[in-house]
Amino acid sequence: MKLSRLFPLLALLLAASLHAENTHKEVRIASPWPAQNTIIAMLGYGDSIVGTSMIAKRIPLFRQSLPRIEKVAAVSVNSGHEINPEQIIALGVDMLFVPQNMVVPQQALLKQAGVQVLAFEANSLRALTQRVQQTAAVLGPDAQQKALAYQRYFDRNVALVTGRLKDLPASQRVSLYHSMGNPLTTTGRPSLNQDWIDLAGGKNIAENWFGEHQQNRSGEVALEKIVTANPAVIIAMNKRDADAILSSPQWASVDAVIHHRVYVNPKGMFWWCRETSEEALQFLWLAKTLYPARFADVDIRKETREFYRQFFGLTLSDAQMSDVLNPPR
């Protein structure tokens, strides 16, 4: 083939490839799952959200990144964990993202109205990374590119953390207690929380506190049990929990309180410790928190700033960085 004919053909193929990569699907999305809204936003479809979660609407960084979210409807979910299908249809939703344990009634009616119901597994790191890829697959090539970049970043952090901790004996793992919205509420194994604690080299004191035959390995536990286990570190999901623990005489004998190792979990677009794509930072942050000498060269502020720039297109100010890493509430 002559070069004069080859170059136009290559240009045409390149243009077609770029078009496929940059194709952005016009779609109307709803999800009452707060953390899933974060994943959708990361994949470039935040502006396509027409139904969201009231929790997501209240998170400062999420509101700052998507100012229009203030006017987006909150998807109604009743006490039975059921969605209102009439509201979903009225919003003109094309895709409805829900966790598998959420009840979506009248699915035939929703299907007839053109609503695709996408139910995903949760409560593990594996389920989280799969959900990012599965969400991207239904959104399109542009989302898939971002999802693949995210997976590379996630895998890089896993390799970094596991590499630094590979020679850490089980006997030297730092004991840890994680409170979830209440000082006495926690989780055991299996759970997403257990996964990121394991990965970061922690020893969850509540790992075996919930029965094998219990479907939900979480719940409220007795304070006496925590005090007896005497964790070296406490990770509180919010500042309210941390303040309650630090100010209570009942917790005063716990090593984590005595040695000032009660930390508030970072919170950006959502709580890093929950079902968000920010989980890629959670175990890295925790590993450095538990073993600062092994991760002395890891700058969490730099990692955090770059993560939000690369995956959310956000340039965080110093004040925003402080609010993410040291949540004021």
One domain for residues 175 and 319: yes
Half-sphere exposure of 196 (CA within 13 A, CB side): 33
One domain for residues 175 and 311: yes
Domain annotation covers residue 10: no
Give yes or no for a contact between 247 and 11, defined as CB atoms under 8 angstroms apart.
Answer: no
Range of the domain at 215: 171-325
**The predicted structure's pLDDT at residue 81:** 85
**The predicted structure's pLDDT at residue 213:** 58
One domain for residues 202 and 276: yes
One domain for residues 121 and 181: no
One domain for residues 176 and 321: yes
Give yes or no for a contact between 175 and 205, defined as CB atoms under 8 angstroms apart.
Answer: yes
**The predicted structure's pLDDT at residue 198:** 99
Q: How far is CA 203 from each of CA 158, 206, 230, rounded to the nearest angstrom?
A: 17, 9, 12
**The predicted structure's pLDDT at residue 9:** 43
**The predicted structure's pLDDT at residue 23:** 74
Domain annotation covers residue 78: yes
Domain annotation covers residue 151: no
Q: How far apart are CA 121 and CA 297, in angstroms?
A: 35
Domain annotation covers residue 4: no
The pLDDT tens digits along the chain (329 residues) read 444 444 444 444 444 444 445 578 899 999 999 999 999 999 999 999 999 999 999 999 999 999 999 999 999 998 888 999 999 999 999 999 999 999 999 999 999 999 999 999 999 999 999 999 999 999 999 999 999 999 999 999 999 999 999 999 999 999 999 999 899 999 999 999 999 999 999 999 999 999 775 556 899 999 999 999 999 999 999 999 999 999 999 999 999 999 999 999 999 999 999 999 999 999 999 999 999 999 999 999 999 999 999 999 999 999 999 999 999 98
Beta bridge partners of 218: 187
One domain for residues 183 and 125: no
Residues 6+ apart with CB under 8 A from 148: 136
Give yes or no for a contact between 66 and 24, defined as CB atoms under 8 angstroms apart.
Answer: no
Q: What global pTM score does this model have?
A: 0.91
Q: Given 137, 160, 179, which residue is the final one in a domain?
A: 137
One domain for residues 102 and 182: no
Residues 6+ apart with CB under 8 A from 216: 210
One domain for residues 319 and 178: yes
One domain for residues 251 and 133: no
Starting at the edge strand found earlier in the chain, the sheet holding 262-264 runs 202-204, 174-179, 233-236, 262-264
CATH assignment at residue 321: 3.40.50.1980
Domain annotation covers residue 243: yes
Domain annotation covers residue 232: yes
Residues 6+ apart with CB under 8 A from 127: 120, 121, 192
**The predicted structure's pLDDT at residue 130:** 99
Length of the chain: 329
Which single residue is written with the structure tokens 């919003």?
91
One domain for residues 105 and 207: no
One domain for residues 75 and 190: no
Structural domain count, the chain = 2
